[in-house]
Structure 1
């Protein structure tokens, strides 16, 4: 049953109801009588309903309740006397200032607890000591700066404490089966010590980490996903010890060079928004499984021809907003997407891309292109999306041929506007009638000249040569 914009919990609800959703309402107070006639209720959602207070025994009669969500309301404390069969409790988006030991007493079946977007500045982990089966704990965006107390949570797998004010914590070692730890948007200056070996994913973006040492990651033998985006890293030479990494995000740091060694199992590498001016064949050596590589916004000037010779499975390459003047040679023929937006590329020839038979997306926006070889399109049989806007196009008749090829192939295109010649400046060249008329007139004129020439050739062949004839009208070289 779903209810919207009500002023109180509706009465006369069937006793057999299993799920009740009330949202966007104005229910200030909840009490025992509101749910006393719903013994079969298993899921109760009270979302954005203006709830300020809940009496202690309000949910006492709900012996079968497994999921309770009281999100985006005005609660200042955790409801008391919660049903003992509860497995999921969501209290995000309230004004809860503290968590106490008695808040979760008896909830031995609780698996998921969400208390994000509240006002919990300090926290003792001892409040979770009665939750032996807790698997997911979310404490994001509380302004939390101090954590105390040690509680062993043997089944905790997912812990998120993003967007707080934490700067040094060592209690993670007490979660022996933790798989995902999210600490983005805090004040850490180093990778937290003594992290559990069981970690599969570690998110530390938007902190103040300056360096990455081998000892920070050595014990994380199962780590597959590491995100250090938006820190202050100037070096990352300790990465090679995380031998099972498949996804690594080092974007938005201060890195001016690649690490001497990268984990060889990487499939996704994000090095965007750094200061990498040069890519060499040694930077990505051995990364045979790499599928996605992001190098945009680096001020990159040089990209060596053999830089990607090791990347035999690369499908997505992003090099936007750099200083490249041409498409790098020797790109892997496995590419399905190539992003070169915002460089200084002034020419695209068939030889640049003819081997990219799998390419489906080509982005050349905001470069210096004035024309494009029509053979480029014939060389890319699987091309589906072509982005060419933001270039200073010279809309001559040769571009009209490209336009026809694009229409024939059915390629989705963002073509941009003509910069030259003046008579069609500002028009989009895929729909420019001015360019079409100009080229048609030129074509008609050329055909007329060709017809006239053929007539003159026929006349000359039927005449006898005469030395005194005026040959000015028979300048064949000019006519042809």
Structure 2
């Protein structure tokens, strides 16, 4: 099931919270939340969401939290949460997220929590920016407790505690991550220094 049609609106086009949890939604399309200017919460918990189109939540200027845990997301794209000026909390626990685009959480001035436990974060050079981001925003870091799932030598280690200087990434993966398209994220390659 794809969430691609504009949602119905109540009187005066106002909704405050939307609960779409426990459905069979697999894709959230751009424009589905158009016309809901007073939306404060979107709950998409426990669906089968594997893809959220870029800017699916765009122009939701009053949105405070997005609940996406217990889905099948594998990556957080660059413009998934773009310009959500009042967004406080993003719930992404228990997905299959391995890669997060380096600009996924920019322009979110009120962000206080990113819940990512229970994911498959690949702790490679491509995710070093995220460790730095968490260190620079301690309130988010304290609530996140994001752990590495891969490589096996770092499994279970908190992302903020990884010594990224001990990783050597090939320049090809760094270039491809920098130029990635929104639809897919290439794998990162790395090895540990002795």
TM-score tier, shorter chain, comes to 0.7 to 0.9
* 1:40-55 equivalences in 2 (<5 Å): none
CA distance in 1, matches of 2:129, 2:166: 15
- 1:330 corresponding residue in structure 2: 56
- 2:41 corresponding residue in structure 1: 316
* 1:6-405 equivalences in 2 (<5 Å): 277-285=1-9, 288-328=13-53, 329-331=55-57, 332-405=60-133
Unpaired segments of 5 or more residues in structure 2? 169-194
Aligned residues: 163
Higher relative contact order (CA 8 A, sep 6+): 2
TM-score (norm 2): 0.74
Q: 1:279 to 1:378 in 2, by over 3 A?
A: closer
328-337 or 317-326, which deviates more: 328-337
TM-score (norm 1): 0.32
Shift in Å at residue 442 of structure 1?
4.6
Q: Is the 2:27–2:52 contact (alpha carbons within 8 Å) kept by the matching residues of 1?
A: no
For the residue of structure 1 that corresponds to 2:127, the secondary structure is helix
- 2:151 corresponding residue in structure 1: 421
For the residue of structure 1 that corresponds to 2:128, the secondary structure is helix
Alignment root-mean-square deviation, CA: 2.3
Unpaired segments of 5 or more residues in structure 1? 1-276, 444-480
- 1:236 corresponding residue in structure 2: none
Q: Is the 1:286–1:310 contact (alpha carbons within 8 Å) kept by the matching residues of 2?
A: no
CA distance in 2, matches of 1:389, 1:350: 20
CA distance in 2, matches of 1:358, 1:442: 36
Q: 1:411 to 1:371 in 2, by over 3 A?
A: farther
The superposition leaves residues 417-448 of structure 1 with CA deviations (integer Å, 9 ceiling, x where unpaired) of 322112112222233xxx31xx22457xxxxx
Q: Is the 1:316–1:335 contact (alpha carbons within 8 Å) kept by the matching residues of 2?
A: yes
